[in-house]
Amino acid sequence: MSQDLSIFHQPIGSLFNLKASENDEKPLLLSSGQLSHFETNGFVSGVDLLNPPQLEALRGELTELFDPNHDGREFWYEYHSNESGDANNVLFHALGAWRIREGLHDILWNPPFLKAASQLLGDQPVRFWHDQLFCKPAKHGGVVAWHQDYSYWTRTKPMQHLTCWIGLDDATVDNGCLQYVPGSHKWDLLPATGLAGDMNAIRKVLTDDQWEQFQNPVAIELKAGQAAFHHPLLIHGSYANRTDRPRRAIVLNVFADGTESDSDDVLLNTVPPISKGSKMEGKFFPLLYDPNAN
Ligand SMILES: O=C(O)CCC(=O)C(=O)O
């Protein structure tokens, strides 16, 4: 029987517990140019978050989790070996890894991630929502259809959420890197049109003007260990992977402290409901970082 790591609200191991001197050497804070890029375009990319030992450890844990019979499988919020259902377009997608493996747990407390996230949320304290793994195998990796994240999160409010996408492999146009529609975070909330399968599904909920802007997405090519942060309304998606290399990513979703539940239903599978109007907090939603306390 494995242990549910969600009881630990601090790092368990030493992988992300960098000595103060190592932390100080790194430029941990986003520049004003990066912040204004986020404000205008809805994203900032190329942020260095993982060093080579961290990458190696996380890739090792991920390999274990690809086996559907791994220990700790009872703790997933969601686990899809192939969300598309099409063997030629495989999208491994799972939520809840932080409960199951030490490195995937401790990455939530990675100092550069937390400091950048707090800045992008307007210097507010950062609370954990959930994690996601998005992995495309070599040769037959599938797409992630265009979407806005908040279309899937309206059960929590107000909208003060943030996504951090972290590559475990070099991500390129060829192996299906993330693509953004710059400025689309200023559009209204669109209905959810599905995550795996159809890149054109979003067309039916866009105006002609929006579709016009949609013709020029930006490909977010990143080195392994680098991250991109995006706004909850920014439209994003990614194409298939037909290369000889996998494209694996860890996604961390957070919100500013003070976000509330907007539903009496279960918010995440296996997690007890938080009644509508109550603050998101407790065992499954730890406060990760308070800029005023550090
Ligand atoms: O990994 C991808 O291609 C898509 C990830 C995504 O949808 C997200 O980070 O919200």
Task: Report how far residue 154's alpha carbon sits from residue 44's, in angstroms, rounded to the nearest whole number.
Answer: 23
Residue 17 in domain: no
Identify which of 43, 62, 132 to mutate to test ligand 1's pocket (most ligand atoms within 8 A of the CB). 132
Domain count for the chain: 1
Task: Report how far residue 42's alpha carbon sits from residue 44's, in angstroms, rounded to the nearest whole number.
Answer: 7
The reported pLDDT for the residue numbered 216 is: 84
Residue 15: CB partners within 8 Å, gap ≥ 6?
A: 53, 54, 57, 102, 103, 106
Ligand 1, atom 10: closest residue by C-alpha: 149
Ligand 1: distance of its center to the CA of 236 in Å? 7
Q: Which two tokens stand for residue 196?
A: 């795996």
Ligand 1, atom 1: closest residue by C-alpha: 134
Q: What is the pLDDT of residues 32-47, one digit of tens each?
A: 999 999 999 999 999 9
The arithmetic mean of pLDDT across residues 276-288, rounded, is: 98
Residue 78 lies in domain:
45-247
pTM as predicted: 0.96
Residue 226 in domain: yes
The b/e string for 10-44 (b: 16+ C-beta within 10 A; e otherwise) is ebeeebbebeeeeeeeeeeebeeebbebbeebbbb
134 in ligand 1 pocket by Cβ < 6 Å? yes
Residue 164 in domain: yes
Are 52 and 35 a contacting pair, CB within 8 Å?
no
In the numeric block, the tokens 């520049």 are attached to 31
Task: Report how far residue 41's alpha carbon sits from residue 32's, in angstroms, rounded to the nearest whole number.
Answer: 14
285 in ligand 1 pocket by Cβ < 6 Å? no
Q: Which residues pair with 99 in a beta bridge?
A: none
Residue 287 in domain: no
The reported pLDDT for the residue numbered 284 is: 98
The reported pLDDT for the residue numbered 17 is: 78
184 in ligand 1 pocket by Cβ < 6 Å? no
Q: Which two tokens stand for residue 111?
A: 């100092």
Residue 35 in domain: no
Ligand 1, atom 7: closest residue by C-alpha: 237
Q: What is the pLDDT of residues 235-267, one digit of tens each?
A: 999 999 999 999 999 999 999 999 999 999 999
Are 256 and 127 a contacting pair, CB within 8 Å?
yes
Q: For position 59, which CATH number holds? A: 2.60.120.620
Task: Report how far residue 257's alpha carbon sits from residue 254's, in angstroms, rounded to the nearest whole number.
Answer: 9
Closest atom of ligand 1 to CA, residue 178: 3
The reported pLDDT for the residue numbered 79 is: 98
Q: Which two tokens stand for residue 26?
A: 């790194």
Where is average pLDDT lowest: 12-26, 100-114, 229-243, 270-284?
A: 12-26
Residue 291 in domain: no
The reported pLDDT for the residue numbered 67 is: 96
Q: Which two tokens stand for residue 64?
A: 């274990």
Where is average pLDDT lowest: 183-187, 194-198, 288-292?
A: 194-198
Strand pairing class (247-256; 126-136): antiparallel
Q: What is the pLDDT of residues 67-77, one digit of tens each?
A: 999 999 999 99
Identify which of 45, 62, 165 to mutate to test ligand 1's pocket (most ligand atoms within 8 A of the CB). 165
Which one is predicted more confidently, 1 or 120? Answer: 120
**248 — phi, psi (to 5°)?**
-115, 140
165 in ligand 1 pocket by Cβ < 6 Å? yes
Ligand 1: distance of its center to the CA of 134 in Å? 6
Where is 8: in which H helix or E strand?
A: none
pLDDT bin (cut points 50, 70, 90) of residue 23 is: low
257 in ligand 1 pocket by Cβ < 6 Å? no
CA-closest candidate to residue 196, choices 288, 94, 101? 94
Residue 20: CB partners within 8 Å, gap ≥ 6?
A: none
DSSP E strand stretches across 25-168: 43-48, 78-80, 92-95, 126-136, 144-147, 156-157, 161-167
Ligand 1: distance of its center to the CA of 190 in Å? 17
The reported pLDDT for the residue numbered 212 is: 87
CA distances (Å), origin 83, targets 30, 75, 93: 34, 18, 6
Query: What single DSSP character describes residue 101?
Result: -
Residue 219 in domain: yes
The reported pLDDT for the residue numbered 26 is: 53
Are 238 and 249 a contacting pair, CB within 8 Å?
no
CA-closest candidate to residue 270, choices 51, 76, 53, 86? 76
Task: Report how far residue 40's alpha carbon sits from residue 186's, in angstroms, rounded to the nearest whole number.
Answer: 9
pLDDT bin (cut points 50, 70, 90) of residue 273 is: very high
Residue 1 in domain: no
Where is average pLDDT lowest: 2-16, 21-35, 111-125, 195-209?
A: 21-35
Residue 243, Cβ neighbours under 10 Å: how many? 15
Task: Report how far residue 8's alpha carbon sits from residue 12's, in angstroms, rounded to the nearest whole number.
Answer: 7
Q: What is the pLDDT of residues 146-187, one digit of tens each?
A: 999 999 999 999 999 999 999 999 999 999 999 999 999 999
Average of per-residue pLDDT values in the chain: 95
44 in ligand 1 pocket by Cβ < 6 Å? no
